[in-house]
A and B are shown apart, each in its own frame.
Chain A
Amino acid sequence: MINTIELEKRWLRYKTKIYRSLFFIIFFILAIPYLSYYLFQQYTLIIAKEKSISKVEREGKPMSLKDEFVPKIENKVENVNDVVLAPSIPIIDFNNEKQIDNRIAEKKKIEQKRVKEKKMEQEKAEKSRLEKKQAYHQRIAKRRALKRKRALEKKLLKKKSLEKKLSEKSLPRKRKLIKAKGSSALTSRDLGVVSHTNIDRKESKKITFHTTSNNYMPIMKRKFEQNKNAREAILIAKAYYKAGNYVESEKWALVANNLDKNSEESWFLFAKSKAKLGKKREALKILISYHKKTKSPQAKELIDKIQSRSI
């Protein structure tokens, strides 16, 4: 015999399963159109928004949103009479307030301290940076000074050798010294670097030229031709004057004067050469006119010397 009751239970289970699946199928079938409609609406909204945004971007000017996108909010004014404000009594806990104030003050103090410390640290850092900078500049200045000193020494050595050569050539038996003013040969700055001491700038510096070569005059003339420098013309004039060739010295002094009217030496050498050639009047005329113009004491001294025939 078949267990019909058990079979009936199984049949009930089977039926519920069938109806459940049927229900789900029907539900989905019904839901699909609603869902698709909702999705379509959402899609159209998004498209519309995108279009409006792109339009704004294209035109480059802001656009106001359409009314359909902005939900309307009705400003409902409630009946004021209906609203009753409840009386409020403020209760302050002073202890609590004090504690809060103290905490705030402590915090402020700590912050101030921190700010001060920071400032101090920054100042220190700045100081050390400046010191380092100064030290660096000093080092560089020292190096430059040393370089200049060496260069000057080299120059002096060269000059000495040139002088030797000149003296040997023009005055083989007599050693003659050429006086050179410190101010004209070296700048005051250069002299300061050389000695590192206070130099009396008024005092003339004597530099001895030793002629070591017989070719001094041609070399100097060649140099003059190359540079057309008044200083070199004066040197040539001096050399001729020392050598006793006053005609040539007069001529070279004039050349130097033509190149540099303010060169005092050219004036003096010209006058002295004239005097040596027996043209004392002319020499005095020249010196007086120069003295009138410049009020040079050296010119006055030379005038006196020519007048007293001490040259």
Chain B
Amino acid sequence: MSKYREIKNLFLDSLDSENYVELESMSYNYQVLEESLDKPLKMILLFGRPGTGKSMTLTRLYNDLKEKRDIHYFDAPILSEKEFLKSIYEAMSSQTIPQNMKVNFDGLLKYCQKQRGQRDVVFLLDECQLYSEELMEKIRLLSDTRVVKFVITLHKTDNEDIIAKEHFKTRIWEVIELKNATEDDLRVYIQKKLTQKGFVEIANSISKKNISFIHHCTQGNFRETNKFLYIAFNIYEYYEQNQPQKIKSNKFSKKILEMTALKLGYLHD
């Protein structure tokens, strides 16, 4: 298998916890989040621009705590109220509800209230900006039972008005904002990603200038950076197979970076 194909696959946008890269800023946020779960909070909001690592953080949190705590992760938003309530009930009761039956919200509330003081269930909800206001209201009511705790993620730009609403403001006690990666963060991220899999030579060939160029294009967005590097190594793979004289192993090609930027529309010819 081609070396560059392997590297290319490293930057595929996956939520695999194995691919998680420990960054300084990320680890701080992660710690805050972990500590918040121990507090008697009803809701925790994790928000930031797309590609700042919200989903990755939730995935890592789930993987780290799934053995220790009663924690459930809804990585894809459940938009139907019926399905959402069913999923909550199934997760809490560990029972499967038949297809022809539905969960009554009042019944679910009573079920939660009965377990007050006995259980502390955590639900991790990703992409909450897609939930309807009605459903969000029901999430709020469920969190009021103090049996269920929600960690929700929101895109900073999208549904900021939901957070601004009074009834939500009073309940979200912990707000963690994830910011775009700085140039240093990005360098560490790329180098760690490569060195984790043993591509030290390639990691060393990427200069500060190259990182700066990538950061300039992607604005520190991890998803965009992954995409950028995936295409860049794709081009490398092509040259490796067809014109190997055009690539140098000790120096990352600026030409390939510019070609990638052209391909992704960061530059215009």
Using CB atoms and an 8 Å cutoff, list the residues of chain A in contact with chain B: 1-2, 4, 7-8, 10-11, 13-15, 17
Q: Are A2 and B268 in contact (CB under 8 A)?
A: no
Q: Are B269 and A2 in contact (CB under 8 A)?
A: no
Residue of B at shortest CB range from A14? B269
| Interface SS of chain B | helix
Q: Which A residues are in CB contact (< 8 Å) with B231? A: 2
Q: 5 closest pairs, A vs B, by CB? A: A14-B269, A13-B269, A4-B238, A10-B269, A11-B259
B66 interface residue (CB < 8 Å to A): no
B87 interface residue (CB < 8 Å to A): no
Q: Name 13 extra pairs, CB < 8 A, besides A2-B235, A7-B235.
A: A1-B238, A2-B234, A2-B263, A4-B238, A4-B242, A4-B259, A7-B262, A8-B259, A10-B259, A10-B262, A11-B259, A11-B269, A14-B269
How long is the Cα–Cα vector from A170 to B13 in the complex, in angstroms? 164
Residue of A at shortest CB range from B267? A14
Q: Mark B234-259, 1 if CB is under 8 A from A, else 0.
A: 11001100100000000000010011
Q: Which B residues are in CB contact (< 8 Å) with A11? A: 255, 258-259, 262, 269
Known A2-B263, A4-B239; judge A14-B234 contact (CB<8 A).
no
Using CB atoms and an 8 Å cutoff, list the residues of chain B in contact with chain A: 231, 234-235, 238-239, 242, 255, 258-259, 262-263, 267-269
Q: Which B residues are in CB contact (< 8 Å) with A7? A: 235, 259, 262-263
Q: Which B residues are in CB contact (< 8 Å) with A13? A: 269
Can you give 5 A-B contacts (C-beta < 8 A)?
A2-B231, A4-B235, A7-B263, A14-B267, A14-B268
Residue of A at shortest CB range from B234? A2
How long is the Cα–Cα vector from A17 to B258 in the complex, in angstroms? 13
Residue of A at shortest CB range from B260? A7
Q: Which A residues are in CB contact (< 8 Å) with B268? A: 14
Q: Are A14 and B262 in contact (CB under 8 A)?
A: yes
Q: Which A residues are in CB contact (< 8 Å) with B262? A: 7, 10-11, 14
How long is the Cα–Cα vector from A174 to B213 in the complex, in angstroms? 156
Q: Which A residues are in CB contact (< 8 Å) with B259? A: 4, 7-8, 10-11
Q: Which B residues are in CB contact (< 8 Å) with A8? A: 259
Residue of A at shortest CB range from B255? A11
Residue of B at shortest CB range from A7? B259
Q: Are A14 and B258 in contact (CB under 8 A)?
A: yes
Q: How far is the CB of A9 from chain B (nearest CB, A)?
A: 9
How long is the Cα–Cα vector from A125 to B249 in the complex, in angstroms? 113
How long is the Cα–Cα vector from A10 to B268 in the complex, in angstroms? 9
Residue of B at shortest CB range from A4? B238
Q: Which B residues are in CB contact (< 8 Å) with A10? A: 259, 262, 269
How long is the Cα–Cα vector from A196 to B239 in the complex, in angstroms? 141
Q: Which A residues are in CB contact (< 8 Å) with B255? A: 11
Q: Which A residues are in CB contact (< 8 Å) with B242? A: 4
